[in-house]
Structure 1
Amino acid sequence: MSAILSIGASRSLDGLNQRLTQEIQALAGEGWRLSMRQERSNGVHQLTCFLEEHPAGESSNEMTLILRQFGARVLMEWILEVWERDLIMKRLRSDHPHFNEQERRVIGEKAAHIMKRKEEVSKEYIMYRIGRNQRILERLVEVLVDYGRIHVDGFLRFRLKDYLHSVSDAVDTAVDEYMMEKEYNEFIRLLRYFLEIQESRVQVVHVFLRPGGFQLLDDGGNPVNNEVVDGFNRDYLEHEEISFEDLLISALVTVAPVQVVLHSREEMPVSETLSTIQAVFGDRLHRCPGCERCQAFVAAREPREMQT
């Protein structure tokens, strides 16, 4: 009996043991008897594959090489699927200790998704990810074929610094996204609060959108008087750090209508502003599918837009 593959790590190797045990028997074929032994000593988990018997007349060296290469592939998949999440959480705890455990779980899920999400939309990223996995596999094969043993923690620390760097970047990006979402949700909460305490000045407000501007009308087609809008002129908007989207949201919250009807060109995309209005007004917001007012508003604006 001889040990042909040995894997050590600081964490449990139960899952890896199951994967290898299920697959190496079929890989070896008849006449080959393999066994797995799992141990723990001084905080180190050790998983060893033994070759106990092999058919007479067949070389064990070739099978050893095949099993080490196969073990490298299984270990790579296990690192990316299982160990990666531990690396993410470890990085979060060390670099961002101010988050509680629930927040870390949320951010950890984001970071894990960041490591994969571009794969769905970018051919270039797919090729990058395949290339990255191949590089990890090649380095694992180099170690296992030459030595037959590996310690995963040390391998990651000294041979996969670029991979650890990508994990760190994903964590930082996830933290930034989480903080932006947290700030946005707090912003929405405050707007809802102001909306609730405001007295409604008009029952229905019709919002007519056009590129770079808007107009607020009541049910009778009359402009809605609003000090927020009246307090800003076009020259001010062009030179100050305030957009018409911010002005629109402020105006609607100030007027606090019972119902908001949104009129816009069909081809206008759903922007972050419209999403914010939806989040703040909820059921109060209705989007016009296209009416005579929309057409008249667009027709009246188009010649003026063509001149600018």
Structure 2
Amino acid sequence: MLEITFEDDYDTAAFLHLLRNADLNRHIKIHETAGKIGIEKTHSSVSIQTYILPILTRFFTECKEDEYMLSVIEGDYYFLDRDEQQQILQLAHSIMEGELEGLPLNQDDTPREYYIMQELKTICLEENAFSIRSFMTFRLGKYYERLRGYVEAAIDEYKMEQEYQTFIQSLRDYVMSKEPMLDHVHIVHDDYFVLWELKYISEREQKKYIDRRFVREHPMYIDSRLLAPLVSIAPRKIDLYTGNREHAMVQTIQNIFQERVRIFSLDSFHPQENILEEHS
């Protein structure tokens, strides 16, 4: 019989839940005691290891993974606020699931579960005792290294998001406090973004619509072709024509100008009707 020892009642109950949901009654018998679960095979030909290895792997990824990552977030990076910890943890999960791309993980495509399963395969899980704590302490170095990579990437992403929100708020405050240079502007997004009111005037004239001082204060973020003049003009109304409402710049303009922005489909843009008549 294999005897698995757990750290606490919560872990014992969590593993037992996974075990029972696996529907292995025909192959194994389960014996419960305080802090321990005994697993006995129902026939000599049954391999306990075959059935238990994937369940143990699920236990570590589903029940212990967040616990470890939160300990890194708090203990190594000193994020003590619970809300911040949860936001970083959610970002880490998004990275794991491939929902966030282009992050500097410097890792190969090996599934993190692989590192757990490889270590479990080196242990006989047919008989004897198996300690969850000992296995986590001495056997999961590569797995923890992978998790730490996710956490570090998530923290970088979190800090970037915080900087972005601060940046957006500064632009929003600027727009709200400024008298508009033009009341109503139109933005056309096809392959690139065009502020239509400035499209046919000279570059020298365009520069008159840019607050150079404000741009100097935001050199890393301000796009000189669109965002700099748009924020400097601070229009009361913006009609934005695009075929991609999820584009990052579309989202940024909406975040800055909020209710001042109206989004239209690209094919609904008609210059003669929308602009020339309005400014005639």
C-alpha distance in structure 2 between counterparts of 1:87 and 1:191, whole Å: 38
Are 1:185 and 2:165 counterparts? Answer: yes
Q: Which residues of 2 match residues 116-131 of structure 1 at below 5 A?
A: 116-117=97-98, 128-129=110-111
Residues 274-285 of structure 1 mapped to structure 2, 5 A cutoff: 274-285=250-261
Alignment CA distance shift 1:227-1:154 (3 Å): farther
Match of 2:14 in 1: 15
Cα distance, 1:259 vs structure 2: 1.1
Counterpart for residue 31 of structure 2: 36
Is structure 2 residue 71 aligned with structure 1 residue 71? Answer: no
Residues 119 and 184 (structure 1 numbering): CA distance in 2 closer, same or farther, change over 3 Å?
closer
- Say if 1:74 and 1:270 are closer, same or farther in 2 by CA, change over 3 A: closer
In the alignment, structure 1 residue 173 sits paired with structure 2 residue 168: no
TM-score calculated relative to the size of structure 1: 0.68
**1:128 is matched by which residue type in structure 2?**
T
Q: Which residue of 2 aligns with 1:235?
A: none
Query: 2:130: which partner in 1?
Result: 150
CA distance in 2, matches of 1:184, 1:243: 9
Stretches of structure 1 that go unaligned for 5 or more consecutive residues are 40-45, 233-240, 295-308
Match among 32, 37, 42 for residue 48 of structure 1? 37
Shift of the 134–173 alpha-carbon distance from structure 1 to 2, 3 Å rule, reads closer
Q: Is the 8 A contact 1:207 1:263 kept in 2?
A: yes
Residues 138 and 24 (structure 1), Cα distance of their counterparts in 2 relative to 1, 3 Å cut: farther
Contact kept, 8 Å, 2:48 with 2:125, in 1: the verdict is no
2:226 maps to amino acid: L
| 1:133 has 2:132 as partner | no
SS in structure 2 opposite 1:27? coil
Partner of 2:236: 258
CA distance in 2, matches of 1:202, 1:180: 32
Q: Distance in 2 between matches of 1:230 and 1:68?
A: 69
- The answer for the alignment partner of 1:84 in structure 2 is 65
Number of the residue aligned with 2:182: 202
Task: Say whether the 8 Å CA contact 2:5–2:131 is kept in structure 1.
Answer: yes
Measure, in 1, the Cα distance between the counterparts of 2:220 and 2:76: 35
- Paired residue for 2:139, among 116, 136, 159? 159
Q: Percent identity?
A: 20
Match of 1:114 among 82, 95, 105: 95
Provide the rounded CA distance (Å) in 1 between the counterparts of 2:211 and 2:190: 18
What is the deviation of 1:158?
Answer: 2.4
The answer to which of 254-263 and 167-176 deviates more is 254-263
Higher alpha-carbon Rg: 1
Match of 2:81 in 1: 100
Matched residue SS, 2:73 = helix
After superposition, the C-alpha distances for 1:178-214 in whole angstroms (9 at most, x for unaligned) are 1111111121112111111111232212345687774
Greater relative contact order (CA < 8 Å, ≥ 6 in sequence) = 2
- Identify if the C-alpha distance between structure 1 residues 134 and 253 changes in structure 2 by more than 3 Å, giving closer, same or farther: closer
For structure 2, list consecutive stretches of 5 or more residues without a partner in the other structure.
Answer: 102-106, 214-218, 273-280
Contact 1:213 1:244 in 2 (8 A): no
CA RMSD of aligned residues (A): 3.8
Name the CA shift for 1:20/1:193 in 2 (closer, same or farther; >3 Å): same
Q: Distance in 1 between matches of 2:27 and 2:169?
A: 62
| CA displacement at 1:174 relative to structure 2 | 0.6
C-alpha displacement of 1:261:
2.7
Tell me if the contact between 1:85 and 1:112 (Cα under 8 Å) persists in the aligned partners. no
Q: Distance in 1 between matches of 2:211 and 2:163?
A: 29
Superposition TM-score, scaled by structure 2 size = 0.74
Which amino acid in the other structure matches residue 137 of structure 1? M
> Which whole-Å deviations, capped at 9, do the CAs of 1:119-149 have from their partners, x for residues lacking one?
99xxxx99732xx534522421331337632
